[in-house]
Amino acid sequence: MSAALAHVVEAPRTETPAAPRYTPHALHAPDRTWPETNCYVDLWIELLHLRGLSPQAMLGFTLRQDFEGDQFTFFKPKAADLEALYGLEILELALYEDLESHSLIQAARGLPVLVEVNAFFLPDTAGTTYRREASKTTIAILALDPARRRLDYVHNAGRFTLEGEDYAGIFARGELLPYAEFVKPCGPGLAGPALAGAALALLRRHRAQAPGANPVTAFRAALAAKDDAFVQRPLSAFHTYAFNTTRQLGANFELLGSHLAWLEAEGAGRFGAAAEAATRLAQEAKAFQFQLARAYARGKLAGLPERLAAAEASYAAVFDALDRALAAG
């Protein structure tokens, strides 16, 4: 594999000064197979962590991930789950003036503003998109100081600050206003056995709405239908394809494994076998991502779809073990 390709597979994580005394949640520990998942899930993990809540409780929705023909579902926590578990609701923020002034009002109320911004202006993405290329992502604005042009925000696996030209870029005037939301407490959150019980009930509901067919099988078939031209495109094509397939699959199931392990630790069932299978699937997705990278390096697709057999079997094992555990409960 070329050095350039290796860089794309797992870009180095450049340290950016974070907000003082902030430690990311354990779900973002650097020793995890997928330390970051997607911007929206990562955002919610850290927002809940900031409030002293357990983000593991919300992760039952990961059971519903499917292969959507060209990508795995960009998995997100369900708004109804967030309200039921934590007493938090997501409301649309009407930007009838400008993003900066409305964000200032909500931040003063202690309500995070969720907004899609251009990662070109986010210093925590140094080494990837920062000052290199435009890329849409979601951040949570926690506080801002217009006079100093300074912003306190959550993005991906941490809490950061930006200022100066980056602040001006985030709040660029004269451009189309972005879609924005804010997070507001709407009732008491659950804790202890009540939280675990509610999470288990949601897990059962999400299991009933999980795909009826193995999505890894569908992914394998879609990849087998492609020809060598697919892996002879620029490395940028590999990066976006991998993000929307192998990373979404692997990160989703690593979080499911963490959710199931948390439920077992809380005494809500015996989910060890299912958690182990989900974690194994996450690791197999990472291994397959490297195999996909090698296919791009060779410009040859032959033999690649067959390498999904292990992940295909692990997906089935997750649900077999989970169904046994739910039936026993």
Q: What CATH number does the domain containing 52 carry?
A: 3.90.70
Number of H helices, E strands in the chain: 11, 6
Q: What is the pLDDT of residue 177?
A: 83
Q: Where is the domain boundary, 185, 206, 228?
A: 185
Residues 30 and 112 occupy one common structural domain:
yes
243: its two tokens: 């993000």
Whether residue 266 lies inside any domain: the answer is: yes
Quick check: 256 and 199 in contact, CB under 8 A? no
Residues 98 and 38 occupy one common structural domain:
yes
Q: Domain of residue 207: give its range.
A: 192-328
The model's confidence at residue 176, banded by pLDDT at 50, 70 and 90, is: confident
Whether residue 284 lies inside any domain: the answer is: yes
Residues 288 and 241 occupy one common structural domain:
yes
Give mean pLDDT, residues 29-36: 97
Q: What is the pLDDT of residue 184?
A: 98
Whether residue 5 lies inside any domain: the answer is: no
Residues 126 and 217 occupy one common structural domain:
no
C-beta atoms surrounding 78 within 10 Å: 16
Q: Where is the domain boundary, 135, 152, 185?
A: 185
Q: What is the pLDDT of residue 174?
A: 61
pLDDT in tens, 122-146: 999 998 899 999 999 999 999 999 9
Residues 137 and 114 occupy one common structural domain:
yes
Residues 177 and 202 occupy one common structural domain:
no
As a whole number, the mean pLDDT across the chain is 93
Q: Where is the domain boundary, 185, 216, 231?
A: 185
Residues 124 and 217 occupy one common structural domain:
no
Using CB atoms within 10 A of its CB, is residue 104 exposed (0-12), middle (13-18) or buried (19+)? middle
Residue 299 has pLDDT above 90, yes or no: yes
**Buried b vs exposed e over 91-102: b needs ≥16 C-beta within 10 Å?**
eebebeeebbeb
Lowest-confidence segment of 129-133, 173-177, 285-289 by average pLDDT:
173-177
Residues 156 and 223 occupy one common structural domain:
no
The model's confidence at residue 81, banded by pLDDT at 50, 70 and 90, is: very high
Helices (H), 94-242: 99-108, 165-170, 192-208, 215-224, 235-242
214: its two tokens: 């193995």
Give mean pLDDT, residues 45-70: 98
Whether residue 3 lies inside any domain: the answer is: no
Q: What is the pLDDT of residue 94?
A: 96
Residues 90 and 198 occupy one common structural domain:
no
Whether residue 84 lies inside any domain: the answer is: yes
Between 74 and 177, residue with greater pLDDT:
74
Residues 226 and 280 occupy one common structural domain:
yes
Whether residue 256 lies inside any domain: the answer is: yes
Residue % of the chain over a pLDDT of 70: 94
Residues 154 and 199 occupy one common structural domain:
no
Whether residue 265 lies inside any domain: the answer is: yes
The model's confidence at residue 3, banded by pLDDT at 50, 70 and 90, is: very low
**Number of domains observed in the structure of the chain:** 2
Residue 12 has pLDDT above 70, yes or no: no
CA distances from 252 to 66, 78, 211 (A): 11, 14, 14
Whether residue 107 lies inside any domain: the answer is: yes
Residue 152: name the closest of 142, 166, 165 by CA: 142
Residues 143 and 283 occupy one common structural domain:
no
